[in-house]
Structure 1
Amino acid sequence: MTASSERKLVRFASGDSECAAWHYPGTNGACVIMAAGGGVTKEPGTDPFARRFHEAGFTVLALDYRHLGQSGGRPRQVIRVKEQLADWQAAIEFATTLPGVDPAKLAIWGFSLSGGHVLRVAARNPRLAAAIAQTPLVDGQVAARKTMRHRRPLPMLRLMGRALRDAVGSPLGRPPLLVPLAGEPSTVAFLTTPDGLDGDRALNPGNRYPQWPQTVAARTTLRIGFYRPTRDAARVRCPLLVVVCDHDQSVFAEPGVRAAQRAPRGELVRMPGGHYEPFLDGHEQAVAAELSFLHRHLLDPAPAVRPATGAAAP
């Protein structure tokens, strides 16, 4: 089954502003709501998967969080977890109003930071039909501790200093102090892991998305380490697919594995490679697993049977 038409830009209210999203009209009544990783806009962060879901007949709603991309909100390039979770709620409500969408057939999809959001959003929305967390950041404490080995002391101190100045300047109305999303260990950047450097190659090949800034407010560094959506895994009632990569050095595989095990209807797919492998050589494997999961739980639902621990979705 092929989708009926190409995507169009839509907007919906969230908080005191609005979110922009690509709407891909589908044909099978089911809808996948998507959001990209931390500081990544909807085009580089969802296009490769959104188009494949759309081609399979699913409606897709791929959003930019407030303060990023084409969405509203000032200041820019700021990540606020509470607001992003509210953006998810607004997107879910908006998706139920889209033509041809069955409100009983909604799924959510996110990777990296948004993959962590998926657990929290699914736990708060028991009527969702399915959820996919791809290479998710589910335990910021583990990630912060383990990624320290890829930071050199002086750049790390400079990053912390910049983050503190940014945090102090925020209530005073000063513009954000930005840092690159990724860089070498000798640089001041949000992520300095070896596979973190794959982000531009994976998400922006050939500079396909030149308008993506690839920066984030430095204050984000102070907050992400305390974010632990893994604590919500046991409260996720819908089928949950967690896709992890065994050589992920940015969010690490094991916290995601444990989250899948804690979820009552959790399923797990393990892949080789680093954090961005589902966008690189592992793309077809990831798409196949995710489409199979969506078909089983949105289009051909059967009585819930939990897979054996560590089992991969077919």
Structure 2
Amino acid sequence: MPREDIAFQTSDNVTLRGWFYTPEASSTTPLPCLVITHGFSAVKEMNLDVLAARFTCSLPISCLVYDHRGFGASDNQPSAPRQEIIPSLQCSDISDAITYAQGREDVNKEKIGIWGTALSGGHALYVGAVDRRVKAVLSQVPVVSGWENAQRLARPGNVAELNHLFQEDRLARAAGKPAGTIPAVDLNPLAISALSLPEAYEWLAGYSLYKNEVTVKTIEEFRAYNPSANIHHISPTPLLMTVVENDDLMPTDLALAAYARALEPKELQLLPGSHFSVFGPNFEKTVERQVDFLKRTLLA
């Protein structure tokens, strides 16, 4: 599929970089556009190219894919550390990506959808609830409550240790020292890391472009993030939530409880398997359902 390297500015003047995909067959009319962002600490080269190519191969649609600020090819504020995730800023950047898409002559500005997975699956729920320009929301294995999610991932004694780490990092940064960092994933279940499950390490660390590091503040921000608080406000925008039955990373029961609070029109795709199966054995089923959803909503 045709792919263009793109860059756009956020509302606070950060340059984000990515790709703009279009179908092979040229169109004389502006096409709907799907904005696609990756999950916790991942970069666009980790399957988002495959995903965008599939969507544009299957549908008369364009796809905007980009790296979050401070990750991959995207810039960050000069005073801010790289590898730091501030959910509110990432959500704001999604809205800025929508604005960029709407400003393109080849995009139908009235037909913009958003797609997110894991952490950005939570972003999709948040942005879909507050940005009324969004006409379709696809949320895949999402974070729905950072607080509850963090409690599930914590080992005994880990919470007190993390609270102390947050305090020390705040003091150090206030004194002008560099931001503290921890591994995003670690095979040692006793080590301090963001995602301590082996499946997270195996999937994320398997990519050569992946940098296994996030700031300490990232974990504090994650714990405070509650992206599903306004899930009932997504309506009347159509919502498709993809959930797997054995998700230990973004717990299944939390996602299902959040889905129950969403209003119609909504659809649930419940698949067997674990968190990363949506990029593995469940990839075909997941994408087929998402293509069908987009055909019936964004392209209707």
What does 1:250-289 align with in structure 2 at a 5 Å threshold? 250-264=249-263, 265-289=265-289
Q: Aligned equivalents of 1:152 and 1:132: distance in 2?
A: 34
Query: Contact 1:230 / 1:255 at 8 angstroms: preserved in 2?
Result: no
For the residue of structure 2 that corresponds to 1:32, the secondary structure is strand
Instruction: Select which of 126, 129, 134 maps to 2:135.
Output: 129
Instruction: Select which of 202, 210, 214 maps to 1:216.
Output: 214
TM-score by length of 1: 0.85
TM-score by length of 2: 0.88
1:90 matches 2:90:
no
1:23 matches 2:20:
yes
Instruction: Select which of 63, 68, 93 maps to 1:65.
Output: 68
1:48 matches 2:50:
yes
Q: Aligned equivalents of 1:200 and 1:116: distance in 2?
A: 19
Q: Aligned equivalents of 2:262 and 2:38: distance in 1?
A: 22
Q: Which residue of 1 aligns with 2:228?
A: 230
What does 1:1-314 align with in structure 2 at a 5 Å threshold? 3=1, 5-26=2-23, 27=27, 29-44=31-46, 46-56=48-58, 57-73=60-76, 74-148=80-154, 151=155, 153=157, 159-184=162-187, 185-200=189-204, 204=206, 207=207, 210-237=208-235, 238-264=237-263, 265-300=265-300
Output the amino acid matched with 1:77: Q
CA displacement, residues 105-151 of structure 1 (integer Å, 9 cap, x when unaligned): 11001111111111110111223210111000011122112222xx3
1:172 Cα deviation from its structure 2 partner: 3.6
Q: Aligned equivalents of 1:171 and 1:42: distance in 2?
A: 32
Q: Aligned equivalents of 2:65 and 2:170: distance in 1?
A: 29
Q: Aligned equivalents of 1:242 and 1:158: distance in 2?
A: 34
Query: Contact 2:8 / 2:97 at 8 angstroms: preserved in 1?
Result: no
Query: Contact 2:147 / 2:225 at 8 angstroms: preserved in 1?
Result: yes
1:45 Cα deviation from its structure 2 partner: 5.5
Query: Please, which runs of 5 or more residues in structure 1 have no aligned partner?
Result: 301-314
1:22 Cα deviation from its structure 2 partner: 1.2
Q: Aligned equivalents of 1:167 and 1:54: distance in 2?
A: 44
Q: Choose 244-253 or 23-32, whichever is displaced more.
A: 23-32
Identity of aligned residues (%): 27
Output the amino acid matched with 1:200: L
Query: Please, which runs of 5 or more residues in structure 2 have no aligned partner?
Result: none
Q: What is the CA RMSD across the aligned residues, in angstroms? A: 2.1
Q: Choose 212-221 or 228-237, whichever is displaced more.
A: 212-221
1:8 Cα deviation from its structure 2 partner: 2.0
